[in-house]
Copies of this chain bind each other. A is one copy, B any other.
Amino acid sequence: MKSLKDQTNRLRRAHILEAAVKVFAEKGFHVATIKDVAAEAKVADGTIYNYFDNKIALLMGILYPQLDEGVTPSATMPLRSDDPHAFLSDTFARSWNELNPKSLDVLRIVFSEALINPELRAVYTERMIGSAVEMNRPTLRSFVKAGSMRPHDAELSSRALIALVFGFVMLRLLGDEVTAQRWDNFPAHLANLLHEGLAT
C-alpha cells in the first residue's frame, strides 16, 4: 500500500520534473512560470506545490539527479585505461554518450543558472568538475609515469579535457550548426587531436 502510494508519488514527481525541464530549457528558469510548468505537466498550479516546496526546489530537483551521476558517469560504458589513445577515445565517447537531448536540456538550465547563482555554482562545480577531474587526472598521471604519454602537467591537461567537453556543449547549446551536424564525428577527432597533435 505504502509502496503503491510511493510509486504513484514518484511517478508524478518525475512527470512534473520532466515538464519543468522542458519549460525551463525553453524559456529559462526565471522567465518560465509555475503556470507554464503546470500547463506542460497538465496539472493545476497548486498540485506542483504538493510535490515541491517552491520554484527553486523544482530547479534543485532537476539538478540533483544530475549531480548524483556526475558528468561522466554510467557504469554502462567502460573506460579503458591501459592505452592512452583508447583512454581518450573512451573519455570522449562516454561524454558524448551522456549528452542526449534530455541531458543537454538539463545542462542548458544548469549552465544558465549556475553562471549567475553562486550557491548553485558552488554545488555544481564541486560535484561535476571535481568528479570529472578525479576521473581523468590520475589516469593521465599514470600514463606519464608509465612512459606511454610524454611528460606534461596532468592538472592542466585534465582541465583541458573537461574544457573541451564543456566547450562543445556550449557550442551545441548556443546553436552552432556545424557542431550539431557533425556532432558524432567529434569524439574520434578529439581523441586523435589530443593524442597525435597537429604537428607533422
Contact = CB atoms under 8 A, between A and B. Distances in A.
Interface of A: 24-31, 84-85, 88, 108-109, 111-118, 121-122, 124-125, 129, 133, 140, 143, 147-150, 152-153, 155-157, 159-160, 162-168, 170-171, 173-176, 178-179, 182, 185-186, 189-190, 192-200
A124 B25 CA distance: 18
Contacts of A153: 185, 189
A28 B109 CA distance: 13
A160 B193 contact: yes
B174 A116 contact: no
24 contacts: A27-B116, A28-B30, A30-B31, A31-B116, A84-B199, A85-B199, A112-B115, A115-B174, A118-B175, A121-B175, A149-B200, A150-B199, A150-B200, A156-B182, A157-B189, A159-B176, A160-B190, A165-B167, A166-B171, A167-B170, A170-B170, A193-B197, A195-B198, A196-B197
A197 B199 contact: yes
A194 B193 contact: yes
Nearest to A111: B115
